[in-house]
Structure 1
Amino acid sequence: MNIAILAGSNKQSSTSTKLCRYIARRLEERECEASLFDLYSRPVPLFSPDNRNPADVNLAALKETMLKADGIVLSTPDYHGSISGVLKNVIDHLGFDHFDGKVVLSVCSTGGAVGVSPLLQLQVMVRAVHGVNCPEWISIGGENRQFDAEGDPVSTHVQERTIRAIDYFLKLCRSLRS
């Protein structure tokens, strides 16, 4: 199974991106091909309705990754109770072809306890592009945003929660594929 992971932060040492890397490793352990698209290192141009398909190597690679995906992980930091601008920009560039009938797992990292507002907003956007929201989501906040030298969350609670969400996400992806 091919899973596209969009790390929607424009911060180099983003904890939401670190969580994406951890998720990618866990997916690979489950014999999935995890394609991590880090929007910090591979930015795409600002969306404009006047030019819906600008010539951009990162945007072309993103669209190809999304078309191949059987499932999608969308990750964002919590910026003032919402998703990051770079992730919203990418969703604006994408459409039904990239999301239709695919399960989407929403992920958030927040300075507070839980980033519920960005997760709810992601679910609204996923529905608008005909994606299927996974009932599970992952939110890390406060001290739970610490990672060790290997890139694993320090908190065993975060590790266990992430594994449970990934397993449910993959179960749903497999059921919709068959």
Structure 2
Amino acid sequence: MTSEGVSMPDGPLIVGFGGSTGPMSMTSLLLERCLAHAVTRGARTLVLGGDELGTLPIYGADGEPPTPVATALVEAVREADCVVIATPGYHGGMSGLVKNALDHLEGLRDDPRPYLDGRAVGVIVSAAGWQAAGTALVSVRSAIHALRGWPTPFGVTVNSVEQPINDDGSFDQRVDGALEILAGQLVEFAGWRAAARAGVR
């Protein structure tokens, strides 16, 4: 788990998880870049990448004590104001790695804010084709709804065939702009929620 630079100590906490276990995972790089944009807007960020999620046991072993990574994931999302989920598009849906991580959020079931309740959730999908990217985006958003989260209006889909990573590790300008839009929506949502809670008091 890594924490990025912080512009404001009291800024909203945005937790990102996903990616894949590949050494040059495009999805992981997209996630990190989105969170970097969030930092420039004053957010605090925390990342659980593919290598960490790859150590999660398959969810469903009732009665088994949670592993350290499972506990870290649940605790991070519990504290989060917003979440970003990044996944490769596999056969029309999200990766098993990401779906398993979402299943582990069952640990939030009995919280005052259960699951993803009250949190904006951004989605990033990379796939070798637009159809796979689009269907995977829909599948992740459906899971977010089931977990009571608020999918952001804007989702980022990247066609890795037409929009590959540049030799210097940067992204196409349109891709980077899309990630910046997503980061902005997350930070704005967190600000609106904070203002609403302050008004209720």
TM-score (normalised: structure 1): 0.90
Instruction: Detail structure 1 runs of 4+ shifted over 6 Å in the superposition.
Output: none
Structure 1 residue 164: Cα displacement: 1.7
Match among 118, 122, 128 for residue 140 of structure 2: 122
Match among 70, 79, 83 for residue 68 of structure 1: 79
What do residues 109-138 of structure 1 show as CA deviations (whole Å, max 9, x unaligned)? 011136111111111111111111111100
Identity %: 23
Larger Rg: 2
Which position in structure 2 is the counterpart of 1:173? 190
Aligned length in residues: 175
Does the alignment pair 1:9 with 2:28? no
What do residues 37-86 of structure 1 show as CA deviations (whole Å, max 9, x unaligned)? 103244211101523x6331111111111111000000000111110001
Q: Which amino acid counterpart does residue 170 of structure 2 have in structure 1?
A: D
Does the alignment pair 1:159 with 2:171? no
Structure 1 residue 18: Cα displacement: 0.6
Match among 165, 180, 187 for residue 146 of structure 1: 165
User: Is 3-12 or 125-134 further displaced after alignment?
Assistant: 3-12
Which structure 2 segments of 5+ residues have no match? 1-11, 196-201
| 3-state DSSP of counterpart to 2:126 | strand
TM-align CA RMSD: 1.7
Does the alignment pair 1:81 with 2:92? yes
Which position in structure 2 is the counterpart of 1:48? 60
Q: Which amino acid counterpart does residue 136 of structure 1 have in structure 2?
A: F
| 3-state DSSP of counterpart to 1:99 | coil
| 3-state DSSP of counterpart to 1:168 | helix
Which structure 1 segments of 5+ residues have no match? none
Separation in structure 1 between the aligned mates of residue 191 and residue 167 of structure 2, nearest angstrom: 31
